[in-house]
């Protein structure tokens, strides 16, 4: 009746603020956190689409500060705005979704990096490609190291499947979320069974 | 120059202070509306703010203006006693003395704002001046006059 009431009033107040900000088009970056088998993910979107996925080993506060600096400081927690992203990721982790159907906002990557990431985005579920192939698809076959860097800086991991890019010869290479996560994702997609090293 | 933090951080860190001074300035019912208007205005202007040096003072300045707008729209200055008394009871915040806040609500606008900012918002004199858009000296004087009047009225 006393403290609990006061707190719930404040929550309603915040919810109303969020709703009015959204209705007025003031919500430049909406974010939420979502559970995953690997730990909490940070999900952020703009009016264009999904702009950032933060993996469990990344510092969410740092990622939000980066979004504030590079996209817009109008960053607000707004879970509803990410319902569809969360729904598709849940299905993906359950092995029930092999293709994300989400609008993407590519603005955090420019030039060659963005071309690499767009090429990665076309690698089908359950298949892998080499960094060299990605460099070639992005228009510069010799820029293999730069292609690797583009993978490493992927702002939208999981949905843009940089985990499907391996070294020529099949070695795992690197992963922003840690190699065990990359392995687990490839197992989930049925890639690693009897295929490692080939 | 300090980079602007995500607006969610601003909301998390300052919403309680803004609500507290608004409740002191316009009463509970008005505070809800003024709170929405304050943070919407802040969010609209936020990208152009440029510097995050004194976000609290900036927000409380906006809150103060919204409180004045509220009083103008109502065409009356002081908040009726009954309304304020109800706030304290419903919120159940023991340290809030309804008689005291009623008396604060009855102060002239500048004095009321200075007292609310100092004791509701816990602001130092310099920031009160910034929020009220006056000199530190004038802010100090408003606070002093307000407190003097409160002491007299409450014995």
The structural domains of chain A, with segments of one domain joined by +, span 3-93, 111-188
Name the active-site residue from A135, A146, A162, A186.
A162
pLDDT of residue B51: 82
Between CA A85 and CA B67 the distance in angstroms is: 40
pLDDT of residue B96: 53
Contact A73 B47 (CB under 8 A): yes
Interface of A with B in 43-72 (CB under 8 A): 64-65, 67-69, 72
pLDDT of residue B92: 38
**Beta-carbon contacts below 8 Å between A and B:** 72
pLDDT of residue A75: 98
pLDDT of residue B24: 87
pLDDT of residue B76: 56
Indicate if the pLDDT at residue B85 is higher than 60: no
pLDDT-based confidence at B97, cuts 50/70/90? low
pLDDT-based confidence at B98, cuts 50/70/90? low
- Domain boundary assignment for chain B: 7-154
Between CA B16 and CA B14 the distance in angstroms is: 6
φ, ψ for residue A51, nearest 5 deg: -115, -25
Search chain B and give the residue with CA nearest A8: B91
Query: For residue range B114-151, what is the model confidence (pLDDT) as tens digits?
Result: 887 787 767 777 777 877 778 888 888 888 888 888 88
Query: For residue range A161-188, what is the model confidence (pLDDT) as tens digits?
Result: 999 999 988 888 889 999 999 999 999 9
Q: What is the mean pLDDT of residues B64-90?
A: 64
Name the CATH code of domain A111-188 (choices 3.30.390.50, 3.90.1170.30, 3.30.465.10, 1.10.10.10).
1.10.10.10
Residue ranges of chain A with pLDDT lower than 70?
A: 1-9, 194-198
Residue B81: CB partners within 8 Å, gap ≥ 6?
A: B102, B105, B106
CB-CB: which of A10, A26, A75 is closest to B44? Answer: A26
Q: What is the mean pLDDT of residues B25-50?
A: 93
Indicate if the pLDDT at residue B91 is higher than 90: no
The pTM of the full predicted model, rounded to 2 decimals, is: 0.77
Between CA A130 and CA A145 the distance in angstroms is: 12
Between CA A120 and CA A108 the distance in angstroms is: 16
pLDDT of residue A99: 96
Residues of A in contact with B38 (CB under 8 A): none
Q: Specify the CATH number of the domain A3-93.
A: 3.30.160.70
Question: Which helix (H) or strand (E) is A173 found in, with range?
Answer: none
pLDDT, mean over chain B: 80
pLDDT of residue B149: 86
Contact A20 B40 (CB under 8 A): yes
Q: Indicate the burial class of B94 (C-beta count within 10 angstroms; 0-12, 13-18, 19 or more).
A: exposed
Search chain B and give the residue with CA nearest A21: B40
Between CA A162 and CA A146 the distance in angstroms is: 14
ipTM value, please give it.
0.88
What is the CATH T-level fold of the domain B7-154, as seen in this structure? Butyryl-CoA Dehydrogenase, subunit A; domain 3 (1.20.140)
Contact B93 A6 (CB under 8 A): yes
- Examine the residue annotation and report whether A151 is marked as an active-site residue of this protein: no
The DSSP output letter for A11 is H
């Amino acid at each position: 009746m006393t403290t609990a009431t006061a707190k719930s009033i404040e929550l309603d107040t915040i919810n109303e603020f969020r709703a009015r900000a959204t209705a007025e088009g003031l919500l430049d970056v909406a974010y939420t956190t979502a559970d995953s088998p690997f730990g909490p993910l940070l999900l952020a979107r703009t009016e264009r689409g999904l702009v950032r996925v933060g993996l469990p080993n990344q510092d969410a506060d740092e990622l939000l500060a980066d979004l504030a600096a590079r996209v817009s400081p109008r960053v607000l927690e707004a879970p509803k705005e990410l319902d569809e992203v969360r729904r598709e990721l849940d299905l993906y982790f359950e092995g029930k979704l092999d293709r994300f159907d989400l609008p993407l906002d590519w603005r955090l990557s420019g030039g060659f990096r963005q071309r690499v990431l767009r090429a990665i985005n076309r690698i089908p579920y359950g298949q892998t490609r080499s960094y060299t192939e990605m460099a070639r698809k992005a228009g510069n076959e010799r820029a293999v190291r730069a292609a690797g860097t583009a993978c490493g800086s992927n702002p939208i991991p999981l949905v843009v499947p940089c985990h499907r890019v391996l070294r020529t010869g099949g070695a795992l290479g690197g992963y922003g979320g840690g190699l065990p996560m990359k392995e687990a994702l490839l197992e989930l997609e049925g890639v690693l069974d009897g295929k490692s090293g080939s | 120059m300090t980079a602007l933090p995500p607006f969610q951080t601003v909301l998390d860190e300052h919403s309680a202070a803004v609500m507290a001074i608004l409740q002191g300035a316009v009463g509970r019912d008005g505070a809800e509306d003024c709170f929405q208007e304050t943070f919407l205005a802040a969010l609209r202007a936020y990208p152009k703010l440029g510097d995050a040096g004194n976000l609290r003072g900036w927000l409380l300045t906006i809150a103060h203006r919204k409180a004045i707008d509220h009083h103008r729209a109502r065409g009356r200055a002081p908040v009726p006693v009954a309304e304020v008394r109800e706030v304290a009871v419903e919120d159940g915040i023991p340290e809030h003395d309804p008689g005291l806040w009623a008396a604060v609500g009855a102060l002239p606008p500048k004095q009321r704002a200075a007292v609310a900012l100092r004791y509701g918002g816990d602001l130092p004199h310099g920031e009160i001046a910034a929020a009220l858009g006056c000199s530190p000296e004038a802010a100090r004087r408003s606070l002093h006059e307000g407190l003097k009047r409160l002491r007299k009225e409450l014995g």
